A and B are shown apart, each in its own frame.
Chain A
């Protein structure tokens, strides 16, 4: 039997809501990109605490990235989290088999892009609809890493809220991107497996 995973998000009152992971295809990705559709997740929020165009992913064209990194690359994957009403609450594009920055010779899952819906960002809206979206997507990447024999290892460039990643057990590597002023972070296998064991994913 194939293992199935769901996400336990928390709504604005703190009540748990079970959401499903689904492949993110090109058609669904249009909803995430302001380039493709007027009905997109940016257009939904009317009043914001900070400028919406200042969000680092505001100009991301998910449709094009999926075409290049997922449809044309067998190691690319894209996933989204849908709430029970069918709305996408977050999405992630990742790649299997990048190189570890901490452990030469080991492979990792590289989290290429990850974003929660703007309506779920506490820096943008007064009351986020759901929390835990990003955490659940990262945990999904850990499961994928484990399933490909990569031990749960993953790398990612945090471009905001670095302390969140450190609390998840990710370590700062020496890899620094000058243009984006960001260090590459890596989750070692031990930390990933400890998390997955706690969740009951592995025995």
Chain B
């Protein structure tokens, strides 16, 4: 029987704090209008990441949408983008 070494038992304690090189920053540093609520922000980020689907929706429309409508829009967007459905889980 083998036992894990101390190093194998270690968790990650700290990572990052280093700026990405400019050619890898991409859209992660972009500024664009986004609602502050979680679903609205998720939608705005998806629309920004995939400008190809942007023609069907305008980011400004998100401000006036209620939550059920935003959720429906998010669900259809995920379907169009072929984003797999995630299930609740203990990580």
A-to-B contact residues, CB < 8 Å? 2-8, 18, 23, 55-57, 60, 72-76, 93, 95-101, 107, 110-116, 120-123, 131-136, 138-140, 143, 146-149, 155-161, 163-165, 167, 175, 177, 179-180, 182, 184, 196, 199-203
Contact = CB atoms under 8 A, between A and B. Distances in A.
Instruction: Name, among A7, A120, A164, the residue most crowded by chain B CB atoms within 10 Å (CB to CB).
Output: A164
B1 interface: no
Contacts of B85: 3, 202-203
Contact of B11 (A131, A159, A196): A131
Given A107-B49, A147-B86, A99 B25 contact: yes
Given A56-B14, A116-B12, A161-B13, A203 B87 contact: yes
A6 B42 CA distance: 20
A23 to B, nearest CB: 8
Interface string B9-24: 1111111111011011
Contact of A201 (B32, B34, B82, B89): B89
A76 B32 CA distance: 12
B7 to A, nearest CB: 6
Contact of B41 (A74, A99, A111, A136): A74
Contacts of A182: 18
A6 B10 contact: no
Interface string B42-63: 1011101110000000000000
A74 B45 contact: yes
A115 B45 CA distance: 25
A6 B14 CA distance: 20
A177 B21 CA distance: 8
A172 B51 CA distance: 31
User: Which applies to chain A's interface (DSSP): helix, strand, loop or mixed?
Assistant: mixed
Contact of A99 (B12, B26, B84): B26
Contacts of A121: 13
A139 B25 contact: no
B27 interface: yes
A169 B82 CA distance: 24
Nearest to A109: B28
A18 B89 CA distance: 11
Contacts of B91: 5-8, 136, 139-140, 143, 199, 201
Which of B8, B15, B16, B30 neighbours the largest number of chain A CB atoms within 10 Å of its CB? B15
A160 B83 contact: no
Given A97-B26, A149-B81, A199-B90, A160 B20 contact: no
A132 B8 contact: no
A133 B15 contact: no
A115 B13 contact: yes
